[in-house]
Amino acid sequence: MKEIFQTFKRLKWFFKKNILSYLCCALALLFVSVMPVIPTKVLGIAIDDIVMGNVNSTRIFFYVIGIFIIPIFIYFVNIYYHYTMNKLGQNLSFLLREKYLAHLFELDSSVYEKYTKGDLIARITNDLTAVSGLATSFLQNVIFYAVTIVAAISVMLSINPVLCICAVAFMPFAIFLLNNARKKKREYYKKHHEIYGEMTESVLESIESVKTVRAYGMEEEDYCKTKKAIDNDTNSWWYIQMFESLFVPMFELVYAVSYFIAIGLGSYMVIKSIISPGDLVSFLLYVGMLYGPLIGLSNVLNTISSINIASVRFFEIMDQKTSVEDIENPKHILKFNQIEFKNVSFKYPFDNFHVLKKINFSIKSGETIGIVGPTGSGKSTLIRQLLREFNVTEGEILIDNESIEKYSIDDIRKLVGYVPQEHILFRRSVDDNILIGNPQATHEQIDSAMVVADFKKDLKELSAGEHTLVSELGGSLSGGQRQRLSIARALVKDPEILILDDSLSAVDALTETNIIKQLKETRVGKTNIIVAHCFSSIALADKIIVLQDGQITDIGTHKELLKYDNWYKMQYLIQIKGDNHEEL
């Protein structure tokens, strides 16, 4: 119960905001919980009056009111209650989902290294639904069932205390045993949530990698893998259902015994004139009224376990703190003169080794910087330091002689237009995908970005030109088209720093030449950082940085680096030889 109160505390802001609606719902719920007791009592009185011959027009009117009018009134109160409560539940779900998504955008990349996509989705779907239920169905069940039981037993005691005690004495023991068994299964409920998250991740992975799977003829293996994950989730759920199926009938057996006692002992009391026939009929109806609420209350512990686990999982993400955050009153920046890396070393939060080691170099505004090196040398990690995804482990990055950490994170990221190695496109039109880089861009700016990215020529191949819908993850486009569309998305932002992280690898030599030429002509005075494996992309760079094993081994222009034996010269000669071979 401690966790439930903790969750209530976490949702206090919502209860406080909607206190009037909750008070009205509470009154409505009390009404619909207590009022059903009256028609049952009236029916008993009516039976006694019919047996005694005391029926008259006044009493008939009273019976009609008690047996027919009150249930109709309860029906309309129920409509109000369920509409209001469902509305509150939907509002809470919407607000929690909004907060969750906003919080995900605030978190740094380390969180996405720790949690899978499937797990994060499971927490905002399955777990969030359970948490929202705490503020709606859980409150309804506890109040409605408890009040109904108290009201029914109170009237049963008034009919005959001995009959009441004998009839319901076994029920609490059955509920205790059922709840005790459920308590032992609480850890398995937690395991089920984890299995559901793994299943979601497996399904997502299969959908996202469907082309790769087909290309390698791995459909059967992937199907078996995904089916196994789904079967694990199904079996986990069936395990819980089997448990419920075994124990819930136990209460039904106890209830049947209680009903048998009520009929047998009640009939004896009628014969002995201890109670009237009408009282016995009312009493038996009240015993029938107890079944649903008692079963419902017995499920409360099960609900509590589910809510507790879901709450822990949901708020575990909400409680994650980003290590990359603004200082108090950060400086704002729109342009810069120089960026300097001073003894920068970096390792990822979950690694035990440094990816970058003692990095020292500077970038002047308007320069074009090339970065090359073997696979895994830390090229992407180096440039991503300018996006402030992580804090550097050692050393510092200075912008105009001020630490990058003193500037607003939003301002720093607005300076940069980043085209990553993985080109993520969205299920939107071509122009809408470009507008992600700058939602306020005009049609002329979009057109200009496509020209520089050499994407304009592709429009005639698309069914609706720039309005063509791009399939999920850009699956309807070629690799080169995805790269160039991603470049256009970054260019429409007109950033002070354009970073191309191996973003020309899927284009042909002529297209690459066109893009580099357009960049030099249109981005005069702006900074370009190009990570490349093909040295022709950076041959005209103002400065080329060679990275090996996380360290800078050479810095210079293309001509300077070719004057002596080094890794750059060796790789360049290999590429030249390969190009000549292709021409032959």
> Does the structure show a pLDDT above 80 at 11?
yes
Domain of residue 298, residue span: 2-318
The domain total for the chain is 2
Residue (of 78, 96, 84, 93) closest to 22 by Cα position: 84
Query: How sure is the predictor about 188, in pLDDT bands with cuts at 50, 70 and 90?
Result: low
119 part of a folded domain: yes
Residues 9 and 48 reside in one and the same domain:
yes
Q: Which position has the token pair 């007791």?
A: 37
Which of 105-114, 253-262, 437-446 shows the highest mean pLDDT?
437-446
* Helix pair 186-208, 219-271: axis angle to 10 deg: 150
93 part of a folded domain: yes
347 part of a folded domain: yes
Give 517-559 pLDDT, tens digit per residue.
888 888 888 999 998 888 878 888 899 999 999 999 999 999 9
Q: Measure the CA–CA gap between 457 and 518, rounded to whole angstroms.
A: 14
Residues 99 and 243 reside in one and the same domain:
yes
Burial class (CB in 10 A: 0-12, 13-18, 19+), 218: middle
Q: What is the pTM of this model?
A: 0.68
Three-state secondary structure of 285-351: HHHHHHHHHHHHHHCHHHHHHHHHHHHHHHHHHHCCCCCCCCCCCCECCCCCCEEEEEEEEECCCCC
332 part of a folded domain: no
CATH number for the domain spanning 104: value is 1.20.1560.10
CATH number for the domain spanning 529: value is 3.40.50.300
Q: Which of 318, 348, 363 is the last residue of a domain?
A: 318
441 part of a folded domain: yes
Residues 394 and 309 reside in one and the same domain:
no
3 state SS of 562:
coil
Residues 299 and 433 reside in one and the same domain:
no
Residue (of 302, 397, 387, 386) closest to 344 by Cα position: 397
Indicate the helix (H) or strand (E) that contains 417.
Answer: strand 416-419
In the numeric block, which tokens belong to residue 174?
């059955």
Q: Are the C-beta atoms of residues 46 and 166 closer than 8 Å to each other?
A: no
Give 448-474 pLDDT, tens digit per residue.
999 888 888 888 888 888 888 888 777
Residues 466 and 556 reside in one and the same domain:
yes
Residues 467 and 561 reside in one and the same domain:
yes
**DSSP label of 134:** H
Residues 300 and 404 reside in one and the same domain:
no
Residues 450 and 567 reside in one and the same domain:
yes
Residues 122 and 271 reside in one and the same domain:
yes
Give 379-421 pLDDT, tens digit per residue.
988 988 888 888 888 999 999 999 999 999 889 988 998 888 7
Residues 33 and 167 reside in one and the same domain:
yes
Residues 366 and 475 reside in one and the same domain:
yes
Q: Which of 290, 318, 346 is the last residue of a domain?
A: 318
328 part of a folded domain: no
Query: How sure is the predictor about 301, in pLDDT bands with cuts at 50, 70 and 90?
Result: low
Residues 87 and 210 reside in one and the same domain:
yes
295 part of a folded domain: yes
